[in-house]
Amino acid sequence: MGKKQVFRSWVPEWLIRLNIFLVMFPTVMLFALSTANVNAATGFYGVEPHDIQFSMLIYYAALVAFTPLEKRFFSRIATKEYFVICLALQVMITFWAYQSRDLYGLFVCRFLQGIVNCGVTSICLTLLFSRLRSEHARETGYAIFYGMILCASSLTSLVTAQLVDDYEYNVLYKMMIYAFVPGAVLLLLIMNKVHLTRKMPLYQLDWTSFFIYAPMLIMIGYILIYGQQYYWLQDPTIRWCLAGVIFLGVVFVVRQLHLKRPFINMAVFRSRGFVFGIVLLAGLYVIRGAFNVTTAYFSVVLGMDPLHTYELLIYNIIGIIIGAVTAANLVIQRRPLQFIWLVGFFLLLVFHGSMYFLFAAEADQSTFIAPLVIQGLGAAMLLTPIVLFIISSVPEKISASASTAGVFVRYTSFALSTASINYFSLFFSRTHTNSLSENTSILNVQAAQRLHAYQGALQGRGLMSDQAAKVAPALLDKAVQKQVFMKYAMDYYELIAILILVLMLLVIMTPYINRTIINVRSNQPAAATV
């Protein structure tokens, strides 16, 4: 798979690498498109925030379920033709999403986008690894790819913020179509007709496992997203979904144990290193999901508009880039994984601890630059080493199953993180609202003084006294809601800090992890590796 074999001889190396990134960025951004601006999406489709969160999980579930099948298509079809097929399907499905104003139509589009995205990602990863000629090309490639994944949400929101302000929400899907064109056209012009992997026949594809696995994943997402809203097992739909997950899960596992080429070889779970790795991966995604509380704080409490919020998150992206480069170098230098992980978790602990004390009704933007950089550093220092550890902790012949199982853990952890934020935001908000309401009665002296101050301020801005009297209670209520949100954020970050300490203790108490040799040179990347 030499460079002349894959790309035309006249193409410079810098153009090849630039082209790979031009194709990869829209692919990664498509994942986070559903939640780029939840308020705009809910307004456009006339739905609840939970529905938009669920649309993202549907996309994710399709990607997870189709990953094992995608490898067979990628190995069978010439890469150039395969890319044309995937791109054409992606454009058609995305245009359908652009035209759709129906929530269920959006769900179907997002599911199909997740399936097709497997193919594009697989091509990008394989091409990326082929351009990195060093002995540790795959370690570097994984660091680049997972760094991009960590940046995806912030970067997508930053790029789309102005578009959402100026146009209707569905224009984001049209933007994605245009974003694919430059990289796709260039890649088709400079690439030869080659197979990047050994050809494999397409017969005996395990579609049965796919049609068991995908509904199970979707039902898991449904339970975690809507369970709080429907009071969990009090709702018959949630009960049926739970029964379906249990039934399909048992059928899926039994089927894998008897298949010659299973979706997931259950032997991976016999490796204690693999089990330890997926525990860390799950914990990391729950911790990473808590970052959404910070972005919500910028909006709800500080009143920052989306564009300024995501401009501030550029510092988080800078931290991610530095952390990814540092983590890759430490892995290549064979530094102990315990050391790398403890540094990463400590940085995340510093971030959550500092934010606990920085949550305030008023603050300057510059106050949050250092914490945002630290958060990016910590997350990037952890993700790539954990992924490489998971893949390396099992025999090479079942490393693909380790990757596939890791994607499942990543999906469920992402859904669990979203569900935990939904649950604790309601739980802590209710608790603190009841507490604060006792101190904001109109008979309370402090509340009366605050109302009087609001009325005076409004009158000073030109409002008549009777109008000021009507508006002042609304301002007081808004101030109370800000206090409630800040107290919820502090409580939630306290829980996350405890989780980080527990994970650090596990890392310290597990010395055998340093005996795992990171070696992914012979492992072909999956379409959506862990």
| The pLDDT of residue 442 is above 50 | no
Given a contact cutoff of 8 angstroms between Cβ atoms, the answer to whether 131 and 79 are in contact is: no
Digit-coded pLDDT (tens) for 206-227: 888 899 999 999 999 999 999 8
* Chain-centre distance for alpha carbon 207: 27
Confidence of residue 71 (pLDDT cuts 50, 70, 90): confident
| Cα 495-501-507 angle, rounded to 5 deg | 140
| The pLDDT of residue 124 is above 90 | no
The topology (CATH level 3) of 1-204 is Growth Hormone; Chain: A; (1.20.1250)
| The pLDDT of residue 1 is above 60 | no
Confidence of residue 509 (pLDDT cuts 50, 70, 90): confident
Digit-coded pLDDT (tens) for 135-149: 566 677 777 888 888
Question: DSSP character for 191?
Answer: B
Mean pLDDT of the region 485-509: 91
Digit-coded pLDDT (tens) for 13-51: 888 888 888 888 888 888 878 777 788 888 888 888 889
Q: Within 13 A of 452's CA, how many CA atoms are on the CB side?
A: 8
Tokens of residue 118, six digits:
């497997």
Q: Give the whole-angstrom CA distance, residue 165 versus residue 38.
A: 13
pLDDT given at position 196: 66
pLDDT given at position 110: 92
Mean pLDDT, the chain, integer: 82
Alpha helices (runs of H) in 359-398, residue ranges in sequence order? 369-392
Confidence of residue 233 (pLDDT cuts 50, 70, 90): confident
Short-list 309, 313, 298, 290, CA closest to 418: 290
Q: Give the whole-angstrom CA distance, residue 508 versus residue 257.
A: 34
| Residue ranges covered by each domain of the chain | 1-204, 207-260, 264-436+469-529
Short-list 28, 376, 25, 74, CA closest to 198: 74
Q: Fold identical between 1-204 and 264-436+469-529?
A: yes
Digit-coded pLDDT (tens) for 251-276: 999 999 888 888 888 888 888 888 99
Digit-coded pLDDT (tens) for 164-204: 777 888 888 888 888 888 888 888 888 887 766 666 666 67
pLDDT greater at residue 181 or residue 111: 111
pLDDT greater at residue 456 or residue 18: 18
| Cα 257-260-262 angle, rounded to 5 deg | 60
pLDDT given at position 351: 95
* Segment among 196-205, 324-333, 413-422, 437-446 with least mean pLDDT: 437-446
Q: Give the whole-angstrom CA distance, residue 481 versus residue 121.
A: 43
Find the length of the chain: 530
Q: SS3 for 313?
A: coil
pLDDT given at position 70: 82
| The pLDDT of residue 454 is above 70 | no
Place of tokens 């090479």: 396
pLDDT given at position 345: 95
Digit-coded pLDDT (tens) for 380-395: 999 888 988 888 888 8
Share of the chain above pLDDT 90, in %: 27
* Segment among 131-140, 154-163, 418-427 with least mean pLDDT: 131-140
Confidence of residue 458 (pLDDT cuts 50, 70, 90): low
pLDDT given at position 484: 80
pLDDT given at position 430: 73
Q: SS3 for 7?
A: strand
Confidence of residue 524 (pLDDT cuts 50, 70, 90): very low
Sequence-ordered list of residues with C-beta below 8 angstroms from that of 92, at least 6 positions apart, any chain: none
Specify the CATH superfamily of domain 264-436+469-529.
Answer: MFS general substrate transporter like domains (1.20.1250.20)
Question: DSSP character for 230?
Answer: T
| The pLDDT of residue 460 is above 70 | no
pLDDT given at position 469: 55
Sequence-ordered list of residues with C-beta below 8 angstroms from that of 164, at least 6 positions apart, any chain: 36, 37, 40, 172, 306
pLDDT given at position 191: 83
Handedness of CA 91, 94, 99, 104 (dihedral sign): positive
Short-list 519, 515, 510, 491, CA closest to 279: 510
Share of the chain above pLDDT 70, in %: 83
Handedness of CA 258, 262, 264, 267 (dihedral sign): positive
Tokens of residue 62, six digits:
């399709």
Given a contact cutoff of 8 angstroms between Cβ atoms, the answer to whether 337 and 516 are in contact is: yes
Instruction: Give Cα separations from 259 to 56, 281, 448, 505 (angstroms).
Output: 31, 27, 72, 38
Digit-coded pLDDT (tens) for 286-317: 999 899 899 888 888 888 887 788 888 899 99
